[in-house]
Amino acid sequence: DSRFPSILVQMSKVGETTGKLDEALLRVSGYFESEAEQSIKTLTTALEPLIMIFLGIGVAVLIIAVIMPIYSLTSAF
């Protein structure tokens, strides 16, 4: 059980064996960068509707908080 991802370990071994460790690590960094970008894209895609729902609820609460007192004042007359 390694503390590092298996792809990093394998690419490091290949890079050391071939004498091109810098190229191997550049490829691995590109891979991890694209993985991180994909994870961020997925997270923002999932969070966007939730944020819109919470904003909608907040606007509804504000509208109710403003309209209800006005409505109760006008219905008293």
Mean pLDDT score across all residues of the chain: 93
DSSP label of 2: -
Contact present, 15 and 22 (Cβ < 8 Å): yes
Q: Where do the structural domains in the chain lie, given as residue ranges?
A: 6-76
Question: Residue 44 in 3-state DSSP?
Answer: helix
User: Tokens 């503390």 sit at which residue?
Assistant: 3
Distance CA(28)–CA(21), nearest Å, equals 10
Predicted TM-score (pTM) of this structure: 0.63
Higher-scoring residue by pLDDT: 50, 77: 50
Higher-scoring residue by pLDDT: 68, 61: 61
pLDDT tens, position by position, 2-35: 799 999 999 999 999 999 999 999 999 999 999 9
User: Tokens 């460790």 sit at which residue?
Assistant: 21
pLDDT > 90: percent of the chain: 82
